[in-house]
Amino acid sequence: MSTDTVKNPETNPEKHPGELIRLEQVTKRFGDNTVLDHLDFSVQAGKHVTLIGPSGSGKTTILRLLMTLTKPDEGTITVDGQQLFPAPEKQVREIRKKIGMVFQQFNLFPNMTVLKNITEAPVTVLGMSKDEAEERARDLLDLVGLADKCDARPTQLSGGQQQRVAIARALAMRPQVLLLDEVTSALDPELVAGVLDVLRDIARSTDITMLCVTHEMNFARDISDQVLMFDSGRVIESGPPEQMFSEPEQDRTREFLSAVL
């Protein structure tokens, strides 16, 4: 295992212009298993960052930490200059408003129609009017190619369609950051392309920051500004996709890429 850290922690923790997400010395353990090991990294606003690496290397845990679905054991996480752990509930809610997440298992609410899945949070959390929320939901469904599925139940949709609804649902909250957690891993192979096309579209046509855990290397190469290679809870190498995929410096990265490409 390489212990090189690619990014050194900044000496001045106060000002990082353009920086949206910052993790400093973040450690997360599950029992004896150290999933993240004094991790440092940051994401600039508007960038698309892809996390790659073997299973269990801590990629998903980073997304879950940012979404406050789990807590770090050590270290600090800041989003848009606001610290996340520890933070008063009100501040946590403010930070969460800036972040959207799409899950591997979609996690749509099966007891609601597609439209209600998308409008529920904008209405109750953002205080949007029902009409406005529905109008925007229809636009978003159009964007993900499911304009005709407003009144369907999630269970009536294919996995790929469900995932596209989940993307629309996350976007409906107008997040600054979109966290994508292996969003195609649970899909049948023929449904993967449709979901990735939608995400490519969003990456191209919006200025949303994306943090993406994926095993789809072609997709990663297409959309990423930066690729981070994880191993054993650390970033062992990072760089633009051209460099990472064609001439990685670390043996471990080369080994991993030759196994998955």
Partner 1 sequence: MKWDWNAVDGFMPYFWDGLLVTLQALVLGSLISFALGLVWALLMRTPSRWVRWPVGVVTEFVRNTPLLVQLFFLFYVLPEWGLTLSALTTGVIGIGLHYSTYTMQVYRAGIEAVPAGQWEAATALNLPVARTWRVVILPQAIRRVVPALGNYVIAMLKDTPMLMVITVLEMLGQARLFSQQHFQFTEPLTVIGVAFILISYLASLLLRALERRLVH
How far does CA 203 lie from the centroid of its chain? 12
The rounded distance, in Å, linking the Cα atoms of 70 and 62 is 9
**What does the per-residue mask of binding to partner 1 show for 156-185, with x meaning CB under 8 A?**
-------------xx--x------------
The interface region with partner 1, picked from 19-27, 93-101, 218-226, 228-236 by CB under 8 A, is 93-101
Asked if residue 109 binds partner 1 (CB under 8 A), the reply is yes
55-74 positions binding partner 1, by CB under 8 A: 67-69
Smallest distance, partner 1 to C-beta of residue 80, A: 15
Smallest distance, partner 1 to C-beta of residue 231, A: 26
Smallest distance, partner 1 to C-beta of residue 204, A: 24
The interface region with partner 1, picked from 89-97, 144-152, 191-199, 214-222 by CB under 8 A, is 89-97
Please provide residue 127's backbone torsions phi and psi, each rounded to the nearest 5 degrees: 75, 25
Smallest distance, partner 1 to C-beta of residue 112, A: 8
How big is the chain, counted in residues? 261
- Give me the DSSP letters along the chain: -----SSPPPS--S--TTEEEEEEEEEEEETTEEEEEEEEEEEETT-EEEEE-STTSSHHHHHHHHTTSS--SEEEEEETTEE-SS--HHHHHHHHHTEEEE-TT----TTS-HHHHHHHHHHHTS---HHHHHHHHHHHHHHTT-GGGTT--GGGS-HHHHHHHHHHHHHTT--SEEEEESTTTTS-HHHHHHHHHHHHHHHHHS--EEEEE-S-HHHHHHH-SEEEEEETTEEEEEE-HHHHHHS-SSHHHHHHHHHH-
The interface region with partner 1, picked from 30-38, 53-61, 120-128, 211-219 by CB under 8 A, is 120-128
Asked if residue 141 binds partner 1 (CB under 8 A), the reply is no
Smallest distance, partner 1 to C-beta of residue 173, A: 6
Q: Give the one residue of 101, 165, 180, 223 binding partner 1; rule: CB under 8 A.
A: 101
Smallest distance, partner 1 to C-beta of residue 178, A: 11
Residue 49 CB: number of other CB atoms within 10 A? 22
Q: CA 196, 198, 201, 202: dihedral to nearest 10 degrees?
A: -100
| Total residues in contact with partner 1, by rule CB under 8 A | 25
Asked if residue 83 binds partner 1 (CB under 8 A), the reply is no
Asked if residue 47 binds partner 1 (CB under 8 A), the reply is no
Q: Give the one residue of 71, 125, 158, 242 binding partner 1; rule: CB under 8 A.
A: 125
Pick between residue 156 and residue 243 the one whose CB is nearest to partner 1: 156
Give the residues lining the site for partner 1 (CB under 8 A): 67-69, 93, 96-97, 99-101, 103, 105, 107-112, 120-121, 124-125, 153, 169-170, 173
